[in-house]
Structure 1
Amino acid sequence: MGRALLFALSLICLPALAVELKPFSASYTADWKQLPVSGSAERSLQALDDGLWQLSFEASMLVASVTEQSTLRIDKEVFLPHTYLYERNGLGKGKKIEHDFDWQAKQVIGSDRGKPVRLPLNRGLLDKSTYQLALQYDVAAGTQSMSYQVVDGDEVETYDFRVLGEEVVRTKAGLIDAIKVERVRDPTQSSRKTILWFAKDWDYLLVRLHQVETDGKEYQIMLKEGTVNGKTVAGRQD
């Protein structure tokens, strides 16, 4: 479940349009196909002091909970992460990852499940939460294929995505026109599948995520309600 919740979202092919972050908040239903109960998830972006932004994600179900939080800033259209925290409880062993992005020393320093992490830091390197914002803005700019360098635990991995087209998503907020995006993986390396939908008329807010794990288990979050820059998300009605 933990990996499924990471939009996984996480990104830097940079948007062709100027990046102007807008605060948002969204709540989702969270369904794990193999479990008889539903959970909930919350995702938000808010401005902090000194040009920093905080991106937060929380999800909980009967047997597990996940918290993910990043702080970041924008510099000349580049996303610069500052801190990253991930915690998972339940579903077996807990997991905690912390990263600090020291741009003066050009190092990522932190820990992954108690083991120290130290990696070189260059512009364009993202954490597993901030890349989701970069993906959102690349999709808004009309980019069809994206690739990002992401700090994943104690190493740097490449996350690739491609746009599949447009699709209407039926949510509790109404019918929403969305751009459908797929995480591209080497099928010889992983059978996991991740599909994301971003709302065209709502600053490309994430409205749905569907994940199939390597063992065949399926996970989905679907928008219940949200606000973008102070406006309530409202889709079309049947």
Structure 2
Amino acid sequence: MRLLLISLLTALPLLASASELLPFTASYTADWKQLPVSGSAERSLVKLESGQWEYQFRASMLVAELTERSVFHLNGQQIQPDQYRFKRGGLGKSKEISHDFDWANKQVTGSDRGEAVKLTLKSGLQDKSSYQLALRNDVADGKKSMSYQVVDGDEIDVYDFRVLGEEKVRTKAGLLDAIKVERVRDPTKSGRTTVLWFAKDWSYLLVRLHQKEEDGKEYQIMLKEAEVDGKPVQGAKDS
């Protein structure tokens, strides 16, 4: 009986708390609606020997490639970015951004497409990658509306989000229970929309993202397979 109980417990999906980050690797399909080919994307979160965390995103297809990397540390439960790197090439104009966060001297320095960046570093400030993990934490905490100050290029922008509810997402890893979140934008100023889905039972892993640009172009990533804290993500099978 004891062995059976242990076996059942280890087979259960991971129940995440907002106070805990778990390392993961995840691969996705990446689709641009206006282009005739699909691509692939990967996300990973690993803890470094320094005690910092590294969060990476890579997407590629026949004519484009994008890489994004954030190194951050935890101050209590607050995510504090240390370094951000972004590079895009192959589709339209190339773009490269570099930000370094000096918490001791309260400064962000770096470059945006060759132009120097220097900003005042305030508590709670996130980079364009680390805010996603801060969002994940708040969603896991049960919050319904969230706001983040984010270093966006050579300025600080405010990113607002709201929870739309629960929704099942059909992925190649199975049917997953997810929390659906929308980025809130002023409808009079932008026709851009961003919607994200976080898996409830798998440490609130991002399993789907859909974005529509002002010009009507659409982009989506959908989970193919993943491991969270060394355990393969498995959803319910279709009946």
Please say whether Structure 1 and Structure 2 have the same fold, judged by a TM-score greater than 0.5.
yes
Question: 1:139 deviation in Å?
Answer: 0.4
- Once residues 122 and 216 of structure 1 are traced to their aligned partners in structure 2, the CA distance between those partners, rounded to angstroms, is 35
- The within-5 A match list for 1:56-205 is 56-205=56-205
Partner Cα distance (2:82, 2:209) in 1: 26
Give how far 1:50 is off.
Answer: 2.3
Secondary structure of the corresponding residue to residue 104 of structure 1:
coil
Matching residue's letter, 2:107 = Q
Does the 8 Å contact 1:72/1:83 carry over to 2? yes
Name the CA distance, whole Å, in 1 between partners of 2:52 and 2:159. Answer: 24
Q: Which residue in the other structure is 1:3 paired with?
A: none
Task: Tell me the SS of whatever aligns to 1:125.
Answer: coil
Corresponding residue for residue 20 of structure 2? 20
1:34-54: per-residue Cα shift (whole Å, max 9, x none)? Answer: 111110000000000221000
Query: Cα offset for 1:90?
Result: 1.3
* Aligned twin of 2:4: none
TM-score normalised over the length of structure 2 = 0.91
Is contact 1:69–1:85 with CA below 8 Å preserved after alignment? yes
The answer (yes or no) to whether the contact 2:18–2:141 under 8 Å persists in 1 is no
Equivalent pair of 1:78/1:123 in contact (CA under 8 Å): no
Query: Residue type of the partner of 2:161?
Result: F
The number of residue pairs the alignment matches comes to: 222
Matches of 2:159 and 2:122 in 1, distance apart? 16
Identity %: 68
Q: Secondary structure at the residue paired with 1:187?
A: coil
Q: How far, CA to CA, are the matches of 1:228 and 1:221 in structure 2?
A: 18
Name the amino acid aligned to 2:119. L
Q: Gaps (5+ residues) in structure 1? A: 1-16
Q: Is the 8 A contact 2:183 2:194 kept in 1?
A: yes
Structure 1 runs of 4+ off > 2 angstroms? none
Shift of 1:19: 2.1
Q: Distance in 1 between matches of 2:197 and 2:18?
A: 22
Shift of 1:18: 5.4
Confirm or deny: 8 A CA contact 2:40 2:59 kept in the other structure: yes
TM-score by length of 1: 0.92
CA distance in 1, matches of 2:88, 2:19: 31
Distance 1:18 1:182 in 2: 19
Q: Which amino acid aligns with 1:137?
A: N
Q: Residue deviations 1:148-193, cap 9 Å, x none?
A: 0000000000000000000000000000000000000001111100
Contact map agreement 2:30 2:220 (CA 8 A) in 1 = yes
SS for the counterpart of 2:80 is strand
* Higher Cα Rg, which structure: 2
Write the distance in 1 (CA, Å) between the matches of 2:61 and 2:94: 15
The residue identity in structure 1 corresponding to 2:200 is K
Partner of 2:235: 235
RMSD: 0.8
Q: Residue 122 of structure 1 aligns to which amino acid in structure 2?
A: K
Match of 2:14 in 1: none
Does the Cα contact within 8 Å between 2:45 and 2:55 map onto a contact in 1? yes
The one-character-per-residue Cα deviations of 1:63-87 (angstroms, maximum 9, x if unpaired) are 1110000000111211110000000
Specify every segment of 5 or more residues in structure 2 that has no aligned partner in the other structure, as ranges.
Answer: 1-16
